[in-house]
Chains A and B, each alone.
Chain A
Amino acid sequence: MWQIITNEWRYLSRTKSLLVISFSFIIILLAAAWLGYKQNKVHEKNYAEAKQYVRAEWESIKEMNPHGAAHYGTYVFKPTQVLSGLDDGVNAITGNVLRVEGHVQNEMVHSEASQMQSVSKFGKLKGALLLQYIVPLLLIFLSYHAINSEKQSGRLKMLIFQGSRLRTLVVGKTIAIWLYGFSLLLLTILVYLIFHAATMHTDVWLRTFLLLFSYSVYYFILCGLTLFLSLRIQQAAVALTCMLTLWVVWSIFMPNILQSAVSAWHPLPSRNVFKQAMKEDRSKGIDGHNPSEEREKEFRKEVLAKYGVDSVEKLPINIDGLLMQADEEYGNIVWDKHFGELRNTLAQQKQSYQLGGIINPFISLQNASMGFAGSDNYHHQHYLLQVETYRRMFIKMLNDKHAFGGSKSGDWDWKADNAFFKSVPDFEYQESPIQTSLTLYLTDIAWLLFWFTLVFILLLFGTHKLTVL
């Protein structure tokens, strides 16, 4: 086996055209790693400046009514992930700016894609683009050539005649070509990691390992399948056409078709319907029988009873702050219901899409790549949830100040001082731990391993009875 692998490598290294192609590939892959790193740096700088600017504005509030400040609000910007330079995922689509304010849970706006005309349907020149689309094509050609050249030159018959087992030969060649793909993969990721050496930590190392693992398994599937088909199909051109068609169907056709299909199976509401439903739930109550005026009256009664007074004027606190907080909390139930349903639908879409891995390992690879790079929709939703948690804390601090800061009910001119605004913490995003991603992407890993096993079985048992003599 080892001899077959080394012989194959020796052959590959002596093929001038392949050396030229490999060299070009390495240059493009390194360029992609460098550009991914550079873009990350530009985005980090942009993000840091914007964050600092908005925070400075908040801290510069000399004095303001807390409720006025809740309307003034603040903004958060989506930070970049270390590995998003390798796989940008949904980042260009999802928007970058989110307004944090009272009474409403906003959505992210101002996406990169909406700021210019169309350029590339397959995204930027990132490692993922090359590793998912282009390296596999090269591996298909190499695998096809590895068997076809042996068949055409008659060496295959000679090797079998000399006592080599076809099964060993095929597995050896598969491993040899897989190693070639793995080297390109490893080189790209290593170079990328060297650029990011300063920001690496355990979580990122684990994510990188999982990325490497997913791509490696996928490459093995492609190499093995191509070698198997090249051996089984007598006509060389037909074998190549088969694999190319499979590549087109797997990488171009099916992801598109399946995404459209899952969107139809688990439909999302239109923005208009979504907003209208939330508006109605807030005003009429979630059950439709608890209008906001009734809720307010009830709450006023409770507060008066709690403080043992018979009018709001006698309250030692400002009831408006409490009322606004109660309204916020009711609003939060409404947001949780509707945004929760939205998240559930998105999760259902994702789960259905992941099932596509059974017929298309590329889907599993694409999911795993985005997921482990932290640039998928799950990570995006995780970010949005953290912002919403922050918003609730932020608004509660302002409402509490309004209620207990020393003002009286109905006094809307009362203002909190600068020290208070400075004491409101800034938003800090805590990245989702790898354990969560791993759980979410176990299905994809499982499908990749399923395909790996299937191909391995085909190589072992689908070739030993072949007649080549």
Chain B
Amino acid sequence: MKYLSVLFFEWKHFVRNPFKVIAWVLFVAAAIYGLHNGASLFNKQQKEIEAIYKKVKEQYEKNIDYYQKGIKSPPDRPWVDNTTPFWAIWNLPTYHIKQPETTMVYSIGQAEQFGFYKQISVWASPYDADMAEEIANPERLQVGTLDFSFVILYLTPILLLLFVYNIKSTESEQGFLHLVQVQWGANIQAWLIARIVFYLLILLLTLTLLIVYGATLTKAILFAPEKVFQTLLICFLYSTGWLILYTIIIRYGTTLVSNTLQMIGLWLLFAFIIPSIVLQNISINKPVNLMLTFIDAQRDGREKIFAQADSVIDKQLFTLYPQIENSPMAKDSISRILARNFSASALVNHQLKQIIEEINNENESKNSIISSTYWFNPVTFFQNTLNHVSGTHYANYQHYRHQIQQLIDVRVATLTNDIWFNATVDLKKYQQYTQQFQTLPN
């Protein structure tokens, strides 16, 4: 009963304090704005994906028409022969898309730093220039988008601060604390905690409603209810963590100004200082990769491969694809030249993959450093956890890159195999290619 009356009086205090109410209203407004920003990016990406699918479909239907009519070459490109694997695969439009997750509504994360669609070809790589982010104002990206995760990570601590900064210190400064002590006796800490819990309940209720509202914007509640629940859990944990820290300050603090200063100091430390030091440290010790090895391989790879003796090229190809050693083209010295020339992409792809692995490892080493700071860098930890759940974390895009590489590998392997086995492409084979190049290997 005693605790209920504390909650009741705290409610009265809250609704009669215009600053706390305004702070709460501003927080809710920012959160709703952030959710709509997330939903807007989700819808924008969906729209772009639809446009790409439409473009691919048009191209595909055009090619199908050639096969149905038995046309080998488009009228403006007579050198093309669509019945050969090389040209059939060359002209087959395949895009690999990173579908935005419905939980993107909660955290835009790194979604604006990476591309989400990529045309696959035998010469492609997951680090091509077309993997760059969408066109955006870099100053907007630098300031950052106000999404829901931003509100949670940076504004929740401020809201909680405004909610609880005057608890106990006001009573202490105005001389009421002794009266409270008389009423609560040794249990005064329970009084303090009951008051703080009230604000925790207000916040948790607010967050629950906001998260549910967000889930309706992109239908995440239908498509990914478990992720909505995870987001809720992360937000609860994060808010409770801050409130525990503030409770400690209030418990041992004496004056209102000193408590407020300490809370703000803590917020600055965790939200600004520590993450910025970690980033600066990485930037100095592991500077930005200017991709020289990748540039070399992509630009000079083909020339360097062709500069080798034919026997060396053949050996490399046979090592990669042992089955082609006994293919019809391999047995005929004239046909072999043509097959070798058309298979160059296989060797370039192999070379690029080795370099990409080095790049990925280097990036991963940066990620490991960041992860190792989580124990004293909680804001970054929660930020990346929210990004993970929203499918906008670096790892999600890395996975997408990995899938792109898999699709390139399938394409290259099929091309090499069919060239050396002198396959003829007809409508059925073309449809088979289309299916095969869109399916990720197990």
Contacts and interface: CB of A to CB of B under 8 A. Distances in A.
Interface stretch (B138-146, B217-225, B314-322, B425-433): B138-146
Contacts of B52: 272
Given A237-B166, A263-B137, A117 B384 contact: yes
Interface string B158-194: 1000100010001000000000000000000000000
A380 interface: yes
A72 interface: yes
Interface in A65-104: 72-73, 75, 77, 89-90, 92-97, 99
B332 to A, nearest CB: 27
Contact of A253 (B44, B129, B135, B146): B146
A109 B130 CA distance: 9
Nearest to A268: B135
Given A111-B113, A121-B144, A96 B290 contact: yes
A245 interface: yes
A188 to B, nearest CB: 15
A269 B48 CA distance: 11
B262 to A, nearest CB: 11
A185 interface: no
B145 A256 contact: yes
Interface in A102-161: 106-107, 109-126, 129, 133-134, 137, 141, 145
Given A35-B280, A263-B140, A110 B48 contact: no
Contacts of B279: 119-120, 123-125
Nearest to A144: B257
Contacts of B284: 35, 38-39, 42
Contacts of A248: 155, 158
Nearest to B36: A260
| Residue with the greatest number of chain A CB neighbours at <10 A, chosen from B256, B272, B278, B362 | B272
Contacts of B170: 237
B251 interface: no
Given A46-B287, A50-B292, A110-B289, A259 B137 contact: yes
B21 interface: no
Nearest to A253: B30
B275 A121 contact: yes
Interface residues of B, number: 85
| Residue with the greatest number of chain B CB neighbours at <10 A, chosen from A43, A126, A271, A274 | A271
A325 interface: no
Interface stretch (B7-15, B339-347, B348-356, B387-395): B387-395
A350 B140 CA distance: 10
Interface in B328-377: 362-363, 366-367, 370
B166 A129 contact: no
Given A122-B272, A256-B150, A115 B366 contact: yes
Given A118-B110, A119-B370, A272-B51, A260 B146 contact: yes
Contacts of A342: 135
A19 interface: no
Contacts of B132: 95, 107, 109, 271
Contacts of A237: 166, 170, 256
A43 B283 CA distance: 9
B380 A119 contact: yes
Nearest to B76: A293
Nearest to B380: A119
Given A99-B129, A120-B380, A256-B145, A93 B299 contact: no
Contacts of B110: 113-114, 117-118
Contact of A137 (B257, B264, B280): B264
Interface string A171-201: 0000000000000000000000000000000
A377 interface: yes
Nearest to A270: B48
B106 to A, nearest CB: 14
B50 to A, nearest CB: 11
Contact of A134 (B260, B268, B280): B268
A43 B271 CA distance: 26
B146 A90 contact: no
A364 interface: no
A145 B117 CA distance: 55
Contacts of B127: 110
A106 B132 CA distance: 11
A271 B288 contact: no
Contacts of A11: none
B278 A115 contact: no
B242 interface: no
Given A95-B132, A137-B264, A115 B288 contact: yes
A412 interface: no
A347 to B, nearest CB: 10
A133 B269 CA distance: 12
Contacts of A376: 139
Given A50-B290, A112-B288, A129-B276, A93 B142 contact: yes
B440 interface: no
Interface in B4-56: 19, 22-23, 26, 30, 33, 37, 44, 48, 51-52, 55
A215 to B, nearest CB: 17
Given A42-B287, A241-B162, A269 B135 contact: yes
| Residue with the greatest number of chain B CB neighbours at <10 A, chosen from A57, A116, A249, A252 | A116
A51 to B, nearest CB: 9
A118 B387 contact: yes
Given A241-B162, A377-B138, A118 B383 contact: yes
Contacts of A126: 276, 280
Interface string A327-356: 000000000000000100010011001000
Nearest to A141: B261
B253 interface: no
A119 B275 CA distance: 6
Interface string B110-151: 100111010000000001011111111111111111100010
Interface in A373-429: 376-377, 380
A372 B303 CA distance: 45
A92 to B, nearest CB: 8
A117 B393 contact: yes
A257 interface: yes
A305 interface: no
B154 interface: yes
A123 B384 CA distance: 15
B299 A73 contact: yes
B313 interface: no
Interface string A316-333: 000000000000000000
B133 to A, nearest CB: 7
Contacts of A99: 129
Nearest to B166: A237
Nearest to A101: B299
A434 interface: no
Top 9 closest pairs, chain A to chain B, by CB: A120-B275, A256-B146, A90-B138, A117-B394, A125-B276, A116-B366, A124-B280, A259-B140, A112-B288
Interface of B: 19, 22-23, 26, 30, 33, 37, 44, 48, 51-52, 55, 109-110, 113-115, 117, 127, 129-146, 150, 153-155, 158, 162, 166, 170, 256-257, 260-261, 264, 268, 271-273, 275-280, 282-284, 287-292, 295-296, 299-300, 362-363, 366-367, 370, 380, 383-384, 387, 393-395
Given A50-B292, A125-B277, 7 more contacts: A110-B289, A137-B264, A141-B257, A253-B26, A270-B44, A271-B130, A272-B51
6 contacts: A118-B387, A125-B273, A137-B268, A237-B256, A262-B137, A350-B139
